[in-house]
Amino acid sequence: MPLLPEILSLVMAATSNASPPDLLLQGGTVYESAQSPGRPASVVIRAGRILFVGEPGRARELSPSATVVPVAGAAVFPGWTDAHGHLLGLGKSLETADLKGAATASEAAARIAAIASKLPREAWAEGRGWDQNHWPGGSYPDARDLDVVADRPAVARRVDGHAIWVNGAALRKAAVGASTPDPAGGRILRRPDGSPTGVLVDNAMDLVTRAMPPSSTADFERQIVAAARACARLGLTSVQDASGYGPAEIDSLRRLAGRGELPLRIYATVSPEAANLAAALAKGARIGRGSDLLTIRAIKAYADGALGSRGAALLADYSDEPGNRGLLVTPPERLAEIARQARHTGWQLWIHAIGDRGNRVALDAFSSARQAEPKAPAGGDRPRIEHAQVIALDDIARFPRDGVIASVQPTHATSDMDWAERRVGPDRIRGAYAWRRLVNAGARLAGGSDFPVESENPLLGFYAAITRQDPSGKPPAGWRPEERLSRAEALALFTSDAAFAAFEEDRRGRIAPGYEADLTVFASDPMRAPAGEIPSIRTLLTVVGGRVVHGPDSVRSSSPGAGAVPAEGTVPAGAGR
């Protein structure tokens, strides 16, 4: 039975108050953990925590005054977490032209021009999501294609975020021309005469982006809240944010948390830039619990670039571009220094590593830190490699041996499968997107999406993990199906494994007495549904710390700022969509 609008309206309005009331979820199939089979049960929530899971009669005895929330036919899970997303990027994408699915550079440029027509004259037009691999000929676009946006600079990020495509106005504004040298760790694509084509890769992107007008504090806070609400609508109760924020952004997150404006938990990372890192470490970690939804205890660094733009650092040449081995974005000695600093101070370090050389450099940095400081303070002993995308087979065993978490994004495999083997060849592909190999070796994993590179819908990641297929069901047997995960393993990626990756396994990732009442309720059961139906399963209810923050689109809380999510289609004031 679906939730009755009048009941849900009561629940959402009540849970926007300072102290959430008792709730009783009744009639659903409850998964107490990723390892437990679902069973019919009731769940009692009190003071933001799970009080009881079990027989309905006993649940009513324990809390006779609880608000009953009927969830018959639905599946109730521990709150789902995205272990690697970019909230600011997602928030900006709500105000940016979506280029995913554009069939040509001309179509992508037209989308940017359409959104530019709605912007203030001084604003730069922005787009995100182009992928030349899907365009005729597979060639990179040119600034001339984007000069259809003639009245302002225009910048469009590639789908992986590791390259930008700009128009002539942006190149002129940034003073990038034929004589501009490639920066360390970056590349300016050029025409035969040496003039820039308008595509800049990795560190070269900074040449243009630093000329863009800075975002204001109000822009940042608006975009973070909008992104968090979008995630809550899809059942996410927590996002581990890989953005690597600076001091002003961290201060904004603290203000949002203090004002109670975050609808879900955020596990934030800070930038490794020396001055910023020193300030963050001096201020100390912040561990959010209960109604405090913000944690700050991790550092985000980069080893290399991305595979799609051939910026991922490889141990040997790219199979489809001899002479190119990609880019190390951060010198290995600097990564090792950050790793030692993080371990010594009890901060968790995340290192973005996609190529096999990038992963090896990251593993070496963690190994060096472990040797320098065998006993790390709590917080420094669960280093993470973000993406862990192409790994030399000999290095897979190093993940469990050194306690390194592989933070993976299952939809990357199904997005990249049409061209990934061309990049690395048939031998290296055996260590690429190798989740089963990692699990069989004893490695700990965590699951995310890398939104807005991919969709923030966690069910798409769950589906990709168990099928190795795209949403249309291709290829029929799955791409390299030997690397698939079971449904229980995939559920763990987004629940208990993600909780472990954030030091939260003692209070999140399970539905058990004493655990925080973070719950994701799907209208039907992804653990039992035919695989092809999983991507379209609806989120019925999202509960964070005992508060209902999402329900049917037709229902809105009287106090969205206190955590409830606006109905689909509503936009925060000033979002400029």
Residue 265 has pLDDT above 80, yes or no: yes
The angle that helices 332-345 and 356-372 make with each other, rounded to 10 degrees, is 40
Mean model confidence pLDDT for the chain = 92
Question: pLDDT per residue over 366-391, tens digit each?
Answer: 999 999 999 988 888 999 999 999 99
Q: Which two tokens stand for residue 233?
A: 């609508």
Question: pLDDT per residue over 496-553, tens digit each?
Answer: 999 999 999 999 999 999 999 999 999 999 999 999 999 999 999 999 999 999 984 4
CA distance 337 to 435: 29
CA distance 370 to 340: 8
What's the average model confidence in pLDDT over 99-120?
Answer: 92
pTM for the whole structure = 0.82
pLDDT at 566: 43
CA distance 298 to 278: 13
- The DSSP bridge partners found for residue 19 are none
Q: Which two tokens stand for residue 542?
A: 């999202």
Nearest alpha-carbon partner for 364 in 387, 397, 389, 398: 398
Q: How large a percentage of the chain has pLDDT more than 90?
A: 86
What's the average model confidence in pLDDT over 323-332?
Answer: 97
Cβ neighbours, 10 Å, residue 540: 24
Question: pLDDT per residue over 125-154, tens digit each?
Answer: 999 999 999 999 999 999 999 999 999 999
Residue 224 has pLDDT above 60, yes or no: yes
Residue 483 has pLDDT above 50, yes or no: yes
Q: Which domains does the chain have, with CATH numbers?
A: 5-73+512-562 (2.30.40.10), 92-209 (3.10.310.70), 217-501 (3.20.20.140)
Residue 176 has pLDDT above 60, yes or no: yes
- Quickly state the pLDDT bin for 18 (edges 50, 70, 90): low
CA distance 554 to 550: 11
